[in-house]
Structure 1
Amino acid sequence: MCGRYAASRGPEELAEVFGVERWEPEETLAPDWNVAPTKEVHVVLDRPLKDAPSRRPVRQLRVLKWGLVPSWAQNPDGAARMINARSETIAEKPSFRRPFAQRRCIIPADGYYEWVTAHDERQLEVEGKKKRTRKQPYFVLPSDGSVFAMAGIYEFWRDRTLPDEHPLAWWATCSVITAEAETGPLGVAPAEGPRSLADIHPRMPLMLTPDRWDAWLDPARTDPDELQALLAPPPGGLMRAYPVSTAASNVRNNGPELLEELEGPEEGTLF
């Protein structure tokens, strides 16, 4: 899955990387090294400009809320549960199939955090009491340090309790698409611990390589077979992962120090 990530690049850099034509300075977000569900995030999408005479899709950098609210939802209460959409079922699930067909986006990240998931729930004996082991967080990012372009979908939801002119009458929300984690060796593996992404967690965000960006963002591309082909995993060996401080586990912590690489897992953590 993807439940936390880092996004420190500014709009100018993202605009250059993705060929963005339009972004609003007032929508600029501060760097965030611990992006959590329901936070506002930058996304890249192709969409005609509102009230523009031409319906030509324009590549834009927009600010959306992470946690998709389906257009037909009665309220937005389930947004925190809609942060991920599985690539295997996205075309079938009622919450995701329409945005998958019509409203696809890229969610830029530096990389994402993942915590080791074990088949057993090993426990430590601490001061005579059993206490669940702290899970070791890893930061996963492209080996070459480039932007991690996570495949995403977005949707609009109308709050019928507010008048049309109210600034919060419309919600724009998004979800990260996930796929099975790579089982092959990492491009750069840590000195000890997991040797593949699948050793850390069975799921991962679907990474879009630059050759797929235009096709993924094109709203005119609606053929189901073509869209399914875009969900194929990228070549292996493009990622690296390294252990980071368990401070990343607390959403209240934020700062570049969360990405500092540790020599090995922290003492007392499950890895």
Structure 2
Amino acid sequence: MLITKEIFNYIANMCGRKTLTKNKRAIIEELMIDDWQIEDYLPSYNISPTQHSIVMIQANGSNIAKRMKWGLIPNWSKNDSFSSKMINARLETLRSKPSFKDLIYKKRCIVPSNGYYEWKQNGPNKNAYFINRKDNRLLLFAGLWTLWPSPSGSVYTYTIITTKAQQDIAHIHNRMPVILDKSKIDKWINIENRSFEIQEAISQNKESLDHYQVSNFVNSPNNNSKRCITPFKEPVNLNLFDNK
């Protein structure tokens, strides 16, 4: 997918980039995955909308890891044009949106991530920040998923639920992914439990998050290396003729 300036600005106003850099064994152990259904997993420092990444769902009491496309495509959609526009679902309007209201009770998932990026407006520019847990454990995003029946075969797609940003990162962006406490995982992905209260199941994890500025290297989805999460350093002025 070509990321134009217009699409980048749209993504920068949402929760639209993330990482998953842990290896397969670490992910399985941390999420207690029973069935790993991914053959070509590669860690990534820059996961962008419409790209594929790991999502955990539950079926018959087993935690299953699947490869899904980021950007939900409703089952009733005739094409995949919705995908790049439905990377997030606002918690406040889940029950009222046709694309999400039924999925709340049938298609809930966990989206694991080491951290995510947000862009802060700085005059005419946007500065990128990386946000993660202080203990470097996985962030567990609450999400919804679909199995879209495309003409060329069924496609798994997902969206990340967002909410108002917590106080320690609100100066960067006013929204953030809903981050589940590990104790809430079973309550959230167990679709047999249809009588639950959404707010109870996804009560926000109050643990403080770490954050720091990174360079604009991450702006391009083609860049995928540790440099994406390297802390930004102001360039040193080496002009010997500066006034003192």
Fold agreement, TM-score > 0.5: yes
Question: Mean Cα displacement is larger for which, 17-26 or 84-93?
Answer: 17-26
Alignment partner for residue 259 of structure 1, among 215, 219, 229? 229
What is the CA deviation profile of residues 185-208 of structure 1, one whole-angstrom value per residue up to 9, with x for unaligned ones?
A: xxxxxxxxxxx3110000001100
TM-score by length of 2: 0.86
Q: CA RMSD in A?
A: 1.9
Following superposition, the deviation at residue 134 of structure 1 comes to: 2.6
Q: Distance in 1 between the 2:49 and 2:228 partners?
A: 18
Structure-2 residue corresponding to 1:233: 204
Task: Say whether the 8 Å CA contact 1:87–1:231 is kept in structure 2.
Answer: no
Aligned to 1:38: 50
Q: Aligned pairs, how many?
A: 224
Q: Deviations over 1:200-245 (max 9, x none)?
A: 000001100111011111011212x52232232221x420100111
2:217–2:227 CA contact under 8 A, matched in 1: no
- Give 1:17's match in structure 2, choosing from 12, 30, 35: 30
Match of 2:61 in 1: 57
Unaligned runs of 5+ in 1: 48-55, 123-132, 163-167, 184-195
Deviation at 1:34, TM superposition (A): 0.7
Instruction: Give the equivalent residue in structure 1 for 2:192.
Output: 220
The corresponding residue for 1:186 is none
SS in 2 for 1:222: coil
1:139 to 118, 126, 130: 130
Correspondence for 1:244: 214
1:170 aligned to 2:154? Answer: yes
Q: In structure 2, the residue corresponding to 1:34 is in which secondary structure? A: strand
Amino acid at match of 2:126: K
Letter of the 2:192 partner, please give it.
A
After the TM superposition, list the runs of 4 or more consecutive aligned residues in structure 1 that deviate by more than 3 angstroms: 263-267
Q: Which amino acid is 1:37 matched to?
A: P
- Maintained 8 Å contact 1:150/1:207: yes
In the alignment, the residues of structure 1 paired with residue 154 and residue 115 of structure 2 have an alpha-carbon distance, to the nearest angstrom, of: 29
2:74 is the alignment partner of 1:70: yes
1:92 to 96, 106, 109: 96
**For the Cα contact (< 8 Å) 1:243–1:264, is it kept in 2?**
no
Calculate the TM-score normalised by the size of structure 1.
Answer: 0.78
Identical-residue share of aligned pairs (%): 30
Deviation at 1:13, TM superposition (A): 1.4
Corresponding residue of 1:199: 171
In the TM superposition, what whole-angstrom CA distance separates every residue of 1:29-48 from its partner, at most 9, and x where no partner exists?
Answer: 2111110000011011102x
Quickly say closer, same or farther: Cα 1:74–1:266, change in 2 above 3 A: farther
TM-superposed deviation, 1:25: 4.9
Contact residue 245 and residue 266 of structure 1 kept, 8 A: no
* Unaligned 5+ runs, structure 2: 1-13, 238-244
Deviation of residue 158 (structure 1)? Answer: 0.9
- Does structure 2 retain, via aligned residues, the 8 Å contact 1:221–1:227? no
Counterpart-to-counterpart distance in 1, 2:63 and 2:56: 7
Q: Name the aligned partner's letter for residue 164 of structure 2.
A: E
The one-character-per-residue Cα deviations of 1:140-176 (angstroms, maximum 9, x if unpaired) are 00111110111111011112xx3xxxxx410110000
Among candidates 209, 212, 218, match of residue 181 of structure 2: 209
Give the CA deviation at 1:253: 1.1
Is residue 2:20 matched to residue 1:7?
A: yes
Distance in 1 between the 2:38 and 2:55 partners?
Answer: 14
